[in-house]
Structure 1
Amino acid sequence: MKRLFETLNRFDFRQRYDLVVLASVAMAGMLIVASLYFAAYQYTSDYTRQYWKAYTLTFAHSVKYGVILHATSVSEAVVQTYASDRNVMKASVFESPQRLIVASNQQTFACHPIETAIIQTHVRDADDLWCFYAPLYQNDDYLGYVELVVSKQDLDAFMRQILYVSGLIVLVVLVVLFLLVRRFAGIFTAPLFEIVTVLQNMSRGLRGHRVNFQGAPDIQRMSADFNDMLSKIERNEQILEQCVADRTSELKIALDSSRAANHYKNQIMTLVSHEMKTPLHSIGAYLELIQAALPTTAEFDVCRSFHAGALGRTQDLNELINKVLIHGKLEANKVELTQEPIDIKVLMEHCAAKLEPALTGNRNRLSLMGDPGVIIIDAEVLRHIVDNLLSNACKFTADGDIQLSWRHDDESAIIQVRDSGCGIPTEYHHLIFEPFWQADMSLTREHGGHGLGLSISKRFIELLGGTISVFSEKGRGALFTVKIPWQ
């Protein structure tokens, strides 16, 4: 069936139409011939059976007196007379109750044995012959019966002639009908075929093809309307292609400009950051020297507090510049990993100790939960990840609790940072890892920062082949989970 459909798909519209018409006409012809044949066969068979049934009754009437008089020669003469018909294969007379053969023209053909007495006219139908039986009566006395075996050869020959002649007539009529239908149908299928051809050319990008229908005025008007529609479509395609080309050119210019701006941005950020770090280190060094040189007397306490504040701001600025530099390296794909064995608990304690000033400033409490263990990973990158997560948790938590926990198995290390701070609204979860993004982007925002911490952490985690996820609701704190594979 699949192969048949594939074969049909290779035909065009007109060929498929002709094939459908031909198949329909052929099926109709076969049904007509079959109906005629079975109707004629039924009628002829019934008529012939009735004829031979009457013939058998006549045979029984003719031979009855020979049986009554026990005149075998008379019975045989009657049998030979009726057996002389070329359709009669056998004629026999039987005497009852012994069912003895009184006379018969031959013993070759025989029907099935008779089990019961023949008391009325009876017929048995076989494939190629009929067996007719009729009883013999003298008044009310049963004398016996006669048997007449008739061939169906003439009937079959006659039916074959009917079949051939009717089939030939129907075939001629159907061929003429098919040609007429095909001729008149071509008037309607030709425009459709031409439309399909033009549409196929349009689908291949070939323009300028038009239809030219010949026929009645309404068909010619349809041709003009269709060609007008094709012209409008081609004009719209040209306009659309020009718009697409113009828009593509604009997008290419914008993309090139964006790439150039991004390249210059990274160069400027790197240059400015490096140029800022040099004087910043000098300022920090001078502040440390001044602080060390100040007397420890009470009148210099205010000066020492000012110097301590200035030195803290200097360290914050240095941390900011370091993150900008790290972000620039990540953008330029210039970060190289160094695998080394570390004790994960020692690294976590070091990160917690570094967070002490921020914890004191916001009056937060930090708890650690995890066991010691040696893993092989880039320690500096992991330290940046944990520092950023802890710093972010401490910045958005005041008078609250922060928990740093970790665990590891044979394949990966899982680190979690939980806080009881202000939380993150659900609609911002997909934005918090974007660089330079904060929920409050105004200059008067409550929480400071530059929005690079989470972005850098995510880029580092992906560089290590890990993942980071967040679970948070506004006003209910946040939970960051990091999963990093290790060797």
Structure 2
Amino acid sequence: MKRLFDALNRFDFRQRYDLVVLISVAMAGMLIVASLYFAAYQYTSNYTRQYWKAYTLTFANSVKYSVILHATTVSQDIVQTYAGDRNVLKASVFESPHALIASSNHKAFACHLPASPIVQTQVRNSDDAWCFYAPLYQDDDYLGYVELVVSKQDLDGFMRQIVLVSGFIVMAALVILFLLVRRFSGIFTAPLLEIVTALTNVSLGIRGHRVNFQGPPDMQRVSADFNDMLAKIERNEQILEQCVTDRTSELKIALDGSRAANRYKNQIMTLVSHEMKTPLHGIGAYLELIQAALPQTVEFDLCRSFHANALERTRDLNELINKVLIHGKLEANKVELNQETIDIKALMEQCAAKLAPALASNRNRLSLTGEPGMMTIDAEVLRHIVGNLLSNACKFTADGDIQLSWRHENASAIIQVRDSGCGIPSEYQQLIFEPFWQADMSLTREHGGHGLGLSITKRFIELLGGSISVYSEPGTGSLFTVKIPWQ
């Protein structure tokens, strides 16, 4: 089969078309000849059998009286008379059950005598002859039967002549039809071959090829329209190439700008990390020394208050710089996990203890729910996640309750932080994890912050292979659920 397809692939479109037409015509011719043969054979065979069946009945009526009179010589003469037809191979007369009275030929033929008496007209068929049987009756008395063996030679010869003549006529007609179809196929296949050649050149990038269809005005109009299409394709290719060139130049410029911005960002990160944190630590240290040196008298209460505020702002600035640095490392995929085995309850208690000043500031109450359990994880990352969620809950809750709970469930640690604060509108619940985003972006917003906390928290959770979700209703509080693998 593969070799056949390979051979067909070597032909062009017109040759394939002619081959398909030739095969179709040949199959149609064979079907027509076969149909004619079977129709003629059935008709002729039935007609011939009916003729010889009537002939056998006539033979039976002719010999019946000689059988009644037991005139064997007369019966033999009648048998010879009916056997005179050149198609009759044998004519015989039998008494009941199978006693031979007279026969024109004592040779055996393909049709064997029936085992039971012949009481009605029968026909038995063989490859070369028919055997016809007809009973002999005198009133209701059964006398015997006659046998007539008829050759099929004339019928077979007649059928061969029909096949030869009809086959010759049909094949001659089909050859003429094929030649006509092949002649007219060139009118249709030639334009298709030209179209295929033109499209092949277009796919290879060869321009300038045009088609020229010969024929009626319709074909010439198709040729003109196709050439117009080729011209438009070539113009569009030129425009597209120019657009690709321009876009490539723009992308190169953008890439260079991105590389420059990346270098600039790295320089800023270095500046923030080394040139800003060092003096900031110095300022904080000096403020702490000055605050400790101030006398504990009423006259210096205002100074101590100013120093305390300045020191708090210094710590806020340091925290902001740390979060910017962490966010930059996360964006650059430079955060590496340091796995260690910890007691999750002890870590949760540490995070709660660190939140004590913020709880006192907003007059909130914190409750912890969970059992001790050992797990292997980056403790600093987990501490940052829990601490940020608690800090956010405390910041947006006043005179309320905050609940921190954890549990071990299906090889995962489920950590939940619930608060009774202001809540988050549904349209903002997915935006809160975007960096530098806050529900109130105005300079006069009630709650401070820089919008990096939850973004960093989500990136840390994903780094641990976990997920975070939020459920909140405005005015009733929020519930943050963290799910991370328990190892």
TM-score by length of structure 1 reads 0.88
**1:352 and 2:352 equivalent?**
yes
**CA shift digits 1:274-294 (9 cap, x unpaired):** 323233223222222222222
Partner in structure 2 of residue 124 of structure 1: 123
Judged with a 3 Å threshold, the aligned counterparts in structure 2 of structure 1 residues 135 and 339 are, in CA distance, closer, same or farther, namely closer
Partner in structure 2 of residue 112 of structure 1: 114
**1:406 and 2:399 equivalent?**
no
**CA shift digits 1:284-308 (9 cap, x unpaired):** 2222222222232333333322322
Judged with a 3 Å threshold, the aligned counterparts in structure 2 of structure 1 residues 360 and 133 are, in CA distance, closer, same or farther, namely same
* Number of residue pairs matched by the alignment: 483
Partner in structure 1 of residue 102 of structure 2: 103
**CA shift digits 1:374-414 (9 cap, x unpaired):** 32322222222222221122222223222211223694433
CA distance in 2, matches of 1:341, 1:137: 119
CA distance in 2, matches of 1:469, 1:5: 60
Map 1:72-471 → 2, pairs under 5 A? 72-95=72-95, 100-104=99-103, 105-106=105-106, 108-109=108-109, 110-118=112-120, 122-128=121-127, 129-134=129-134, 144-408=144-408, 411-471=411-471
Q: Structure 1 residues 83-92 or 406-415, which shifts more?
A: 406-415
**CA shift digits 1:44-69 (9 cap, x unpaired):** 22332344234434534554554354
SS at match of 1:446: coil
Judged with a 3 Å threshold, the aligned counterparts in structure 2 of structure 1 residues 164 and 114 are, in CA distance, closer, same or farther, namely farther
Deviation at 1:257, TM superposition (A): 1.0
Partner amino acid, structure 2, of 1:117: V
Deviation at 1:332, TM superposition (A): 3.6
Judged with a 3 Å threshold, the aligned counterparts in structure 2 of structure 1 residues 115 and 58 are, in CA distance, closer, same or farther, namely closer
CA distance in 1, matches of 2:362, 2:417: 17
Judged with a 3 Å threshold, the aligned counterparts in structure 2 of structure 1 residues 59 and 377 are, in CA distance, closer, same or farther, namely closer
Partner amino acid, structure 2, of 1:472: S
Judged with a 3 Å threshold, the aligned counterparts in structure 2 of structure 1 residues 136 and 272 are, in CA distance, closer, same or farther, namely closer
Task: Give the aligned CA root-mean-square deviation in angstroms.
Answer: 3.1
Judged with a 3 Å threshold, the aligned counterparts in structure 2 of structure 1 residues 72 and 374 are, in CA distance, closer, same or farther, namely closer
8 Å contact kept, 1:111–1:131: no
CA distance in 2, matches of 1:4, 1:481: 67
SS at match of 2:194: helix
Judged with a 3 Å threshold, the aligned counterparts in structure 2 of structure 1 residues 31 and 332 are, in CA distance, closer, same or farther, namely closer
Deviation at 1:344, TM superposition (A): 1.9
- TM superposition outliers: structure 1 runs of 4+ over 6 Å: 1-11, 137-142
8 Å contact kept, 1:270–1:325: no
Deviation at 1:143, TM superposition (A): 5.3
**CA shift digits 1:193-234 (9 cap, x unpaired):** 322332244344443332221222331232122111110111
Partner amino acid, structure 2, of 1:229: M
8 Å contact kept, 1:400–1:420: yes
Deviation at 1:167, TM superposition (A): 1.8
CA distance in 2, matches of 1:474, 1:6: 73
Deviation at 1:75, TM superposition (A): 2.1
Deviation at 1:142, TM superposition (A): 6.8
SS at match of 1:432: helix
Q: Structure 1 residues 172-181 or 193-202, which shifts more?
A: 193-202
Q: Identity, % of aligned pairs?
A: 81
Judged with a 3 Å threshold, the aligned counterparts in structure 2 of structure 1 residues 123 and 253 are, in CA distance, closer, same or farther, namely same
CA distance in 2, matches of 1:377, 1:68: 123
SS at match of 1:341: strand
SS at match of 1:480: strand
Partner amino acid, structure 1, of 2:36: L
CA distance in 1, matches of 2:373, 2:134: 116
Judged with a 3 Å threshold, the aligned counterparts in structure 2 of structure 1 residues 138 and 275 are, in CA distance, closer, same or farther, namely closer
8 Å contact kept, 2:414–2:484: yes
**CA shift digits 1:301-343 (9 cap, x unpaired):** 3332232222222221221122222223333444333222322
Q: Structure 1 residues 393-402 or 13-22, which shifts more?
A: 13-22
CA distance in 2, matches of 1:62, 1:163: 38
Deviation at 1:10, TM superposition (A): 8.3
CA distance in 2, matches of 1:246, 1:313: 51
Judged with a 3 Å threshold, the aligned counterparts in structure 2 of structure 1 residues 58 and 273 are, in CA distance, closer, same or farther, namely closer
Question: Unmatched 5+ residue regions in structure 2?
Answer: none
Q: Structure 1 residues 67-76 or 353-362, which shifts more?
A: 67-76
CA distance in 2, matches of 1:198, 1:77: 89
SS at match of 2:150: strand
Deviation at 1:13, TM superposition (A): 4.3
CA distance in 2, matches of 1:295, 1:138: 162
Judged with a 3 Å threshold, the aligned counterparts in structure 2 of structure 1 residues 217 and 435 are, in CA distance, closer, same or farther, namely same
Partner amino acid, structure 2, of 1:103: A
CA distance in 2, matches of 1:326, 1:267: 15
Question: Unmatched 5+ residue regions in structure 1?
Answer: none
SS at match of 2:416: strand
Deviation at 1:37, TM superposition (A): 1.4
Partner amino acid, structure 2, of 1:253: I
Judged with a 3 Å threshold, the aligned counterparts in structure 2 of structure 1 residues 321 and 188 are, in CA distance, closer, same or farther, namely same
CA distance in 1, matches of 2:374, 2:122: 108
8 Å contact kept, 1:395–1:447: yes
